[in-house]
Structure formats: structure tokens, C-alpha cells
Structure 1
Amino acid sequence: MINKEEIWDLFKSIFPIYRTLLGKGFNDSLDEISKTIPLTNIYEVESGQSSGSWKIPDEWIIHTAWIADLDGNKIIDFKENQFHIWQYSISTDEIISHEELIKKIAIGDDDCIPLVVTYYSKRWGFSVSANQFEKLNRDQYRVYVDSEFRVGKLQIGEIFLKGRSSKEVLIDAVLSCNSLANNLSGVLGAVFIAKLISQTSNHYYSYRILFSPETIGPISLFHHFPSLFKNVQGGFNLINLADKNALNYKTSRYPTLIDDTVEYTLKQFDKDTTISKYDVLTGTCGNEKAYNSLGIEVPVGALRRSILCSYPEYDTSKDDFGFIDKNKFFESLDILTQLIQNIELNLYYKHTFIGEPFLTGYGLFPKIEKDSDRIPYDYLMGFTNGKLSLLDIVNLSNQPLQSFFEPLRLMVEKELLKEI
């Protein structure tokens, strides 16, 4: 049994680390994860390398950044809040008018400071809350940004857990966001799954769990490690697992057996669950968009509570531990536990018998005490033609999946059924 408090402690240790696409914060976060469960591999792509039409940016290092009045009083200071500086801002030291300054400021609501990134533009900028912006009422200010760029390495952490089959389930979580608790909860969900599977003997699927930078991570993996995804049967990106909304799921571009299993599992837990078809609506997509993009087309869905950009705290300083709900996060972990169990069972099975088998002769009939106990056996005997998944058969029976667990185990054990 996995201690969920251990996962929560890891959550709290990773949260304050200042991360972006690549560099020390991202690497330190991978190190923290590896203390809980060792990484199998770290894939690296150097700055300047092309990944299709994308190019890996340099590593960005921010030393200090502030806005001060001409008397030297700092009004906005990166050291006070990491959200104040736009990520990948260039260095500057200048006197600037109020009119010009406000063109380089992103303003949040009330006391929210928005996250802004400028990976591919040579510019600088600051983010402030609405309350802070009201204090910027002088005619002129001094702006100081001390940053540097150097050749670095984009890293993608991997935990690979080999199963009985070479068929793979891919689980992805974006690690490049800075201190955004709900966003980051997906990373902890992926760690939890890795620990869960690592403690499970004889699992059918192989699992490839990736901790990646947003968008450019999956794209770089595909271009620089092209054989990596050849065995992927399906999977999902994890994000926003700790807010108070019901879990929802967006399927992959071409829905898979994994998508079907996620849908079934979520609906068993919560009637308010919503399932949506794959889309590329701007602002609402995570890494699933990169995985499913044309030419790559790795079938990855998106499992989350709130959709990206759908709540005021999203990508702001207010997405902190005061915003998320520990009980909801733990509930998400419970659902992930059931989901992995269901994924392991929802396979295609083929009968080895000819004609209806004599269950008593296999020692199974005494285990069936009433007619309802026999229903799963009847459906497993009647529909395991190798063309229907277990969930297909369950849905035909109108019985809960759980009622098939023991009959399935026994019929596989007696070699009446085999996985295909």
C-alpha cells in the first residue's frame, strides 16, 4: 500500500522550486522525484538542436529583477515573488517612462500575479497584481533585469516499468511549470502511478512514465528518439488533479482501449464526470496536443479535473496550496489506483476451449452459489472470441466490472482463456 502522505510531502518539496523549460530548477525537480522512485532514464537534447520546426532554446538563468522609483525604492521585486518576471526576459538597466513601462507589464486580478513566458522572443517584462499596479503611479522608473543565456540541455525524465507484454501505456506529466500547485499535481499523480506499478508483480503492460517540458518535450522526443513510441497502445497526460471539480477526460485523436478504460473508470466513480472527444482548442490543451499532432500521432488523452484556463487561479500566483484541496487530490490518487487495475484487466481474451466448457470439471462450479454468480462466467465463455475487450463483454452483460475479476482470474489460471 502506498503512503499518500509521502506523495503529499514530495508535492510540498517540489512546489517551491523555480522551474522553466530547461535548467537547474527542472533538473532539481527530477532529482527530487528520483528520491521517491528512481528514474530509469533521462533523455537530453542540447540547446540549438532542431526538433522539426522547433529549436531547443538556451538555458535561461535569472539573477535578479526589479522595478524601482528614481529614489531607489523597489516597488516590484522578483525576489519577493517568482511570478513577477516574465520567464526568459533579457537583461536591461534603464530609466523608462510610466507610459512605456505599462506596455511591458501583465496585470492580474486583485492580488493575482499572472505567469508570462517569452521563450522565443528577445524581450523583457514584468507581471503584477491589480493592487500592485495601482502603486505604479510615478512618471518614471528604473527597471533592472539581470539574466543570462547559455547552452544547456532539455531534459525529459523517464520511469520505464517493463511488463509481460511489449505493449506500452504512456503516462505524461508537465514538469516545466513553476510554482503552480494544481498544474503540478499531475506530476505527483504520475509519481504515484509509478510507485503503484513498481510494487505490482506480473503486470501485463509496460509503462512509460514521462516528466517533460510543455509541448517541446514530446516533440523533441519524437524527433530525437524516434523509436521511443513504437509500442505505445495508448495513454494520458495528467494535470489539475487537486481542485474541487469532477474529473473529466479528453480522448486521444484516435480513441484506444486505454481511452475506453479511463472513461469507464471515471464514470464508475462520479456521475458528474465528462468525457469529450479530442480537440485542439487554443488555451485548453496540454501535452496531449503535441503527442496527437499530425505526423506524431501518439494516442494520448488528457485526464484532469478543471480544464486548462478554465478558472481564475490558472497560471497565476494564486494556484498555490491554499487553492488546491488535499482530499480531492487523494481522491484522484484512489481513482488512479482503480484505473491502473482496470487497464491491466481490460485486455482482449481468446478462448482455448471448443464448445461450452464443463466448469465443474475445472473445479469452478462449486464457487458459483447462485445464478447471478454464473453470469460473468457465461459471458466470458460466450464472447471471448479475441475481438471484444473485457469492457466490451462487461457492457454486454450489464454487470459491474468488479464481478468479472475473480471469474476472469480463475479462467485464465485454468487456461480456459488467454490474453492476446
Structure 2
Amino acid sequence: MVFESLAEKLQDALGKLKGKGKVSEKDVDAAMREVRLALLEADVNFKVVKNFIKKVKERAIGSEVMKSLTPGQQVIKIVNEELTSLMGKEEEKIIFASTPPTVILMSGLQGAGKTTTSGKLANNLKKQNKRPLLVACDVYRPAAVKQLEVVGEKVGVPVFTMGTKVNPVDIAKASVEHAKKHGNDVVIIDTAGRLHIDEDLMNEIENIYKAVNPNEILLVLDAMTGQDAVNVAETFDGKLSITGVVLTKLDGDARGGAALSIRAVTDKPIKFVGMGEKLDELETFHPDRMASRILGMGDVLSFIEKAQENIDTDKAMELEKKLRTAQFTFDDFLEQLDQMKNLGPLDELLAMMPGMNSKALKGLDVSDKDIGRIEAIIKSMTKKERQTPEIIDSSRRKRIAIGSGTSAPEVNKLLKQFKETKKMMKKFGSMEKSMKKKGKFGLPFF
């Protein structure tokens, strides 16, 4: 889970204040010591931690807390606000040129995931009705051009290339002219990964910058490199005046040092975060939502956005009707599993729910294998069995278990859960009908 270790420690430290009717300066000091240690262990920059603790303490021992009816919760509110401020207060979007094309220069170290991120960004912009063009300016890494072409094909975005013998500065200039002629309103230039100590390559990207005058210079950083990511950002910013950062592999970063330090140290916003390897797993970075998730307060807005993007509304309405009238079958259930898989890992979805803190999620282990097992059981049923599971007797159960590579008790468990769910939904349906007859509000299922 994102920031798992940091989230757990912060929630523990602040949880001790939550129930207190009265909070003393001593209580605040004790909690801040734990918060300070948690942030340092998460590889957050030392100066950033020092300033953060100072700001929180100044506000926490002031009148807004001491005179509050719920001082413990007030302290948590202050930590949430300061954590949000630390990461940038509000989301920062791509700045589009008033006259197309908008030129986005992608920069970063070798291995940070620039080429894949370029494809993800193109995919993201395509969903916003833009017509992006990917540009292959990495002429050094073997098969880099081919990799970008493959990525471009997968997301349905054209790739501009002039091979590996042409100077990257000339490729970049030619790509902008190509975009103007062919109606591409965004140009995403994928440059060669470089070591920030490599003067030749740093000079080359500086020359590309001067040649195309980009609207955005995005630095792609591996979130798992922690403190070093901040140092890299400072170096690149000195050369290029970067406009924003894309943090990759944030889904694998249990600490969170880079995400919490970059804005404060470089004064550059995190614009996007990579949350997985798939080409649709690039998200706009929302500091307020991330702070809420770290403190176990949930992120309902991101959950709703995911659902709107990945769930078929007509199918959802049809399903709601079936649930209300208890006509829900295993075929419907199978369809729901498919839609759920599009939303991402279950533990990440649950982490967006308020009150689902890191400890509550720690024992949860619902993998793709578990969902695959359920799918295998349902797919081993006949059409008639899926429509009317009541006909499944012991011999049918045995056949389904063999066909799905599971056991009879596992088949029994699924059948029992399905029966209980239908019974419960039938009760809700009849309750809602009686409420409507009495002129009361219906139940908000979806």
C-alpha cells in the first residue's frame, strides 16, 4: 500500500490524542516526537521535518486547539492541513499553450520510467480529447525508439521518429513542425535517461529545451529512491527550470520521503503519480487527498472518479434493478467481478474509504488469485446452474470443484455467501418499497 509504514506510525501517534477531552502541551510534545520520528524514518528531508513539526506545534498549542470541544481531533485536523500544505495544497494541472501545440519535455535519470510515463501521459491527455504526438529523442539506449513505438501503439497515439543516427535536438525541432502540420495539439518529447553528473547529456537536454521552448518540463522520478530523488530534482531544476514532477512507482513506496519532501525543497509541484505498470495507471496528484489517505481519513473523491471512469453506468443501473427485485444471478456476479478488477487492487480501493486505517488493512489479503478462484468456480457451472443455483446438489458441487480446480467446501462457501447476499438485498428492496409508500426517502444503494 502507498505510504503503508508512514501511515501506520502517524495514525498510531495521533490516535492517542483522538479520544482525549483535554490536551496539554505535554501531550502535543509527546505526539510530535513520534510524528517527527515517523517522518524521518520515511526518509523525509530533515529540514522539511523540522519546519513541519514547528508549524504544527505552534498551531496545536494555540487557542484554536486548547479552547476546542474536541482538542485531540483539532490537532489531527492541523496535521492534515499542514501535510496537505507540505505537498502543495492543491492539484497542479498541465499548462496548455494558447496556440497549439503544447510542448512537454520529459526528463529524468536512467531507469526512472520516462518512456512508459510518456505513454501514460499521452493516454491521459487523449482521454481529455487532446491529440498527442509522442517523440522518440532517446537515440542512445538500445531499442528505446522501438519501446516508445510499442507504447504508442498500445495507447493509440502516433510516434514521431527519425531513427537513431539523427541529433536529438533536430528530432525535437522537426517533431513540433510535424505536429503543426498534422493537427497534434500536444507534443510529448521522450529524451534519453541521463545521470545528473553526465555533463554532455545534461547539455544536450538543455539544447533541446532552447530549441523547442517547451511549455512544460516534467521531471520523472522514481519515488522509491527517497532522499536522492530530491537531490536529482534540485540538479535538473538548476539546468532546466522544471515545471513539475512525475513520481513513478508510488504504489510500491511504503515510506513516502520523496513525495513529502520535493515540493518543500524545490518549490516544484508533483503533477502526476504512477500507481502501477499499466498504461492507464497515471493519476493526477491531489495533495489534500493524499494527506487524508496517509492519516486514515479516506479518499472518497478518487474512488468515485475511478468508478466513473471504469464502471459502465447502464450496466450498474441494470444491476441495481436486479438486486432490488432479487433477480441477481451468478452471471451478473461474474460481470461485477470484471468491472471491479478494472478499478485496481482491493486493498488500495479500501484504503480510500474513511476509517480504513493501515492496521485494519494489514491482515487483508485479497489477491487476483482469490478473485480468479471465484471466477473459475462460476465458469465451471452450467448456464442453468448460474441462473438457478438452488439446483446445485452434492454431485454438481463435486463436478464444479473438479472443473474449477478447487474443493467442494470452497464451492459450498461461495453458494452460501451468494444466497445470503440475495436474501439481504431482498430485505432492503422490500424496506425501500414500504418507505416510499409512507412518503419517506428511499435507500441510497449506489
Q: Which has the higher strand share?
A: 1
Q: Which has the higher helix share?
A: 2
TM-score > 0.5, shorter chain as reference: no
Name the larger-Rg structure. Answer: 2
TM-score scaled by length of structure 1 = 0.25
